[in-house]
Amino acid sequence: MKTSDFDYFLPPECIAQHPVEPRHNSRLMVLNRANDSIQHTIFWNITEYLHPGDILVVNQTRVIPARIYAHKETGGKLEILLLRRVDDHTWEALIGGKRPRKGKSFMINEHLHGTIIEELEESRRLVRFNQPVEPYLERIGQMPLPPYIHEPLRDPERYQTIFARQPGSAAAPTAGLHFTSELIERIAQMGIQFAEVTLHVGLDTFMPVHEENPLEHKIHTEWCELTEETAQKINAAKKEGGRIIAVGTTSVRTLETAAQYAREGEWVGAVSGATSLYILPGYTFRAVDAMITNFHLPRSTLIMLVSAFAGRERILNAYKVAIEQGYRFYSFGDAMLIL
């Protein structure tokens, strides 16, 4: 297995620069693993592929305005992208431009300043602020859109899912962006449940794997939580014959992490903490029966994850078809349902 096995060419015009309105009007490719069929519809019609008793597992994380600007002691500008909260005052962050060394201080405003306390890999740093930064973010922060989106976002809420409750992500769990309140009500009326989990998304999710052997890649660690109450709800639905359908790769990662804590006769257990689960072809899924996902970047851990679920050749063929059919790719793009 090589990283190049997960490469494909995407014409730039296929990268969605803005979301469709309404959200549920995005296109939907339905990929059936049982018979290798591919069907084309819109997301509103996903109900045609869901069954009473199924349970949709969604990520309730909320994107924070994590891109902030500061000044170094020398007066130079500093761009800081908050990735992961370590404690009340400390964050792991990406530092743009000429990156400061350990011990260097910076100022954001008269009340908020910080210090680089540790140098991590490449442009990563551990940053300690003089006080919690969260209360300031709505005023000083900007929404951290992925670098392949070049058009400004008029409404920052458009980069939040309808499920967003728990602040902490540097990027949106984009499969959830296709749901609207009307669609959720329609699904619920079919006797289909929703379950909420939390995984705070780091930007590593979107980064290509640079190592030739993907097994040598150091997978990103993200914080996730699936409560005991939610575990009971998911296990009960599965015992009654329903399918566990993950909405997005972040929900997949949370569910499969929780599967490691399942008791005998169960599919998931409660979990709260960091996960470094790395899902590659050859992985045996223990919880997820089907998944809703977007179209992912080449050579990324996400295309490797969906390839582990559906098969590499099947996924690459589906992506080829999607490009030919004019599907929109990446965060604001169209969706795929893998059955």
The residue out of 140, 169, 194 marking a domain boundary is 140
Residue 108 sits in the same domain as residue 225: no
Please check whether residue 133 lies inside any domain of the structure: yes
CB 330 within 8 A of CB 297: yes
Q: What is the CATH number of the domain that holds 113?
A: 2.40.10.240
Q: Residue 179: its pLDDT value, please?
A: 98
Q: Residue 205: its pLDDT value, please?
A: 64
Residue 237 vs residues 74, 187, 227, 266: alpha-carbon distances, Å: 59, 15, 16, 11
Residue 186 sits in the same domain as residue 311: yes
Please check whether residue 261 lies inside any domain of the structure: yes
**Short-list 301, 249, 292, CA closest to 24:** 292
Residue 52 sits in the same domain as residue 71: no
Residue 95 sits in the same domain as residue 208: no
Strands (E), 52-150: 55-59, 61-63, 67-72, 77-85, 90-96, 105-107, 113-119, 124-129
pLDDT per residue, tens digit, the chain (339 aa), is 999 999 999 999 999 999 999 999 999 999 999 999 999 999 999 999 999 999 999 999 999 998 999 988 877 888 999 988 889 999 989 887 677 888 889 999 889 999 999 988 778 899 999 999 999 998 999 888 888 888 878 888 899 999 999 999 988 999 999 999 999 999 999 999 999 999 999 876 667 788 899 888 888 788 999 999 999 999 999 999 999 999 999 999 999 999 999 999 999 999 999 999 999 999 999 999 999 999 999 999 999 999 999 999 999 999 999 999 999 999 999 999 999
Residue 188 sits in the same domain as residue 56: yes
Domain extent for 107: 67-140
Q: Residue 27: its pLDDT value, please?
A: 98
Please check whether residue 146 lies inside any domain of the structure: no
Plot region of 9 (φ>0 → left; ψ -120 to 50 → alpha; else → beta): beta
The residue out of 117, 140, 163 marking a domain boundary is 140
Please check whether residue 147 lies inside any domain of the structure: no
Q: Residue 235: its pLDDT value, please?
A: 98
Q: Residue 204: its pLDDT value, please?
A: 66
Going by the DSSP 8-state scheme, the letter that residue 142 receives in this structure is B
Residues 6+ apart with CB under 8 A from 236: none
Tokens of 112: 């908020």
Please check whether residue 145 lies inside any domain of the structure: no
Please check whether residue 148 lies inside any domain of the structure: no
The residue out of 113, 140, 167 marking a domain boundary is 140
Residue 323 sits in the same domain as residue 305: yes
Count, residues in the chain: 339
Q: Count the domains in the chain.
A: 2
Beta pairing, strands 90-96 & 124-129: antiparallel
Residue 202 sits in the same domain as residue 133: no
What's the first-to-final CA gap in the chain, in angstroms?
24
Please check whether residue 326 lies inside any domain of the structure: yes
Residue 78 sits in the same domain as residue 190: no
Residue 12 sits in the same domain as residue 120: no
Task: Give a three-class secondary structure readout of 247-262.
Answer: ECHHHHHHHHHHHCCC
pTM metric for this prediction = 0.92
Q: What is the CATH number of the domain that holds 23?
A: 3.40.1780.10
Residue 173 sits in the same domain as residue 285: yes
- Cis peptide leading into 22, omega within 30 of 0? yes
The amino acid at residue 320 is: K
Residue 327 sits in the same domain as residue 267: yes
Residue 158 sits in the same domain as residue 54: yes
